[in-house]
C-alpha cells in the first residue's frame, strides 16, 4: 500500500469522485485544495478573500498561498494521504518533494469534450463537498445532497466560459507534472472515461 498518492488530471476528470472513494477504501486522509479554498471563500477568511478572484476566473491561486497551507495539512495528517488538486505546478511539486516522497501519481485521462459536459452539469454540496452530475450521477431528490441533506449548487467556475479557461490553465501549468512523475517512476495513467465504478476498479489496481 502507498502512503502518499497524488491525483493528477484535468478539471472534471473525477479526482474528487475517485479520491473520496479511495479515501474511504484505504482509510487515508483526502486533502483537496479546491475544497479548502472554497471553504475559505465561504467563511470570508483572509485566504478566501485573496483566492476568490483567481478561482472565479479559472486561474490558479498563487503558489505562495497554497504551498504553506498544504505543507501544514500534510504534516498534521496521520497515516496515508491522497492529494487532490495539489501539486498543480512544478514549483508546488518541488516543494512537496522536499517534504514527502510521492509513492503514486494517478493521472485520470479524459477528453476535453467529456470534461466540459461533466463540469457544466455538475452540482456540488457546500456542506460535505459531495459532487453529483445531473445526468450521470444525480442525487436521489433533486437539488438535495444524499449524504448530508445540503442544498446543492453550481460552482461559479463551472460556467461554460470559465471551464474553457480552466482547461487552458491545466494544459499550461499542470500537464507538465505528468512527465515530472513519469520520470520519477511513480506515474500510472488511468483511462478516466466509463462508469465511476469501472474507473475505481482501475484505481484500486494501481494502489495495490
Contacts of the segment 88-94: beta carbons below 8 A, 24+ positions apart: 88/33, 88/60, 88/173, 88/174, 88/177, 89/60, 89/63, 89/173, 89/174, 89/177, 90/176, 90/177, 90/180, 91/63, 91/67, 92/63, 92/66, 92/67, 93/177, 93/180, 93/181
Residue 35 CB neighbours (<10 A): 17
Per CB under 6 A, the segment of 22-30, 40-48, 54-62, 145-153 that binds ligand AP5 is 54-62
Residue nearest to ligand AP5 according to CB distances in the complex:
34
Residue tagged active-site, from 2, 15, 30, 123: 15
Q: Is 96 in the site for ligand AP5 (CB under 6 A)?
A: no
Q: Which of residues 157-196 bind ligand AP5 (CB under 6 A)?
A: 157, 166, 195-196
Q: Is 23 in the site for ligand AP5 (CB under 6 A)?
A: no
The verdict on whether 155 is a catalytic residue reads yes
The verdict on whether 42 is a catalytic residue reads no
Q: Is 30 in the site for ligand AP5 (CB under 6 A)?
A: no
Binding test (CB under 6 A) with ligand AP5, winner from 14, 80, 139, 150: 14
Work out how close the CB of 123 gets to ligand AP5 at its nearest, in angstroms, rounded to a whole number: 7
Q: Is 34 in the site for ligand AP5 (CB under 6 A)?
A: yes
Q: Which residues contact 201 (CB under 8 A, 6 or more apart)?
A: none
Residue tagged active-site, from 2, 30, 118, 122: 122
Amino acid at each position: 500500500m502507498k502512503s502518499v498518492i497524488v491525483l493528477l488530471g484535468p478539471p472534471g476528470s473525477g479526482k474528487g469522485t475517485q479520491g473520496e472513494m479511495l479515501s474511504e477504501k484505504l482509510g487515508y486522509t483526502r486533502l483537496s485544495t479546491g475544497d479548502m479554498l472554497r471553504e475559505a471563500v465561504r467563511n470570508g477568511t483572509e485566504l478566501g478573500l485573496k483566492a476568490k478572484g483567481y478561482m472565479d476566473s479559472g486561474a490558479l491561486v498563487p503558489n505562495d498561498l497554497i504551498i504553506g497551507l498544504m505543507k501544514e495539512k500534510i504534516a498534521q495528517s496521520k497515516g496515508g494521504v491522497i492529494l487532490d488538486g495539489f501539486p498543480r505546478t512544478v514549483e508546488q511539486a518541488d516543494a512537496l518533494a522536499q517534504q514527502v516522497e510521492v509513492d503514486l501519481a494517478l493521472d485520470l485521462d479524459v477528453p476535453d469534450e467529456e470534461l466540459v459536459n461533466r463540469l457544466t452539469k455538475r452540482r456540488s454540496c457546500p456542506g460535505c463537498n459531495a459532487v453529483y452530475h445531473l445526468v450521470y450521477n444525480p442525487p436521489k431528490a433533486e437539488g438535495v445532497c444524499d449524504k448530508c441533506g445540503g442544498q446543492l449548487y453550481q460552482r461559479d467556475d463551472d460556467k461554460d466560459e470559465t471551464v474553457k479557461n480552466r482547461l487552458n490553465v491545466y494544459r499550461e501549468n499542470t500537464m507538465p507534472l505528468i512527465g515530472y512523475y513519469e520520470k520519477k517512476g511513480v506515474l500510472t495513467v488511468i483511462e478516466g472515461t466509463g462508469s465511476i465504478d469501472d474507473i475505481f476498479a482501475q484505481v484500486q489496481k494501481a494502489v495495490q
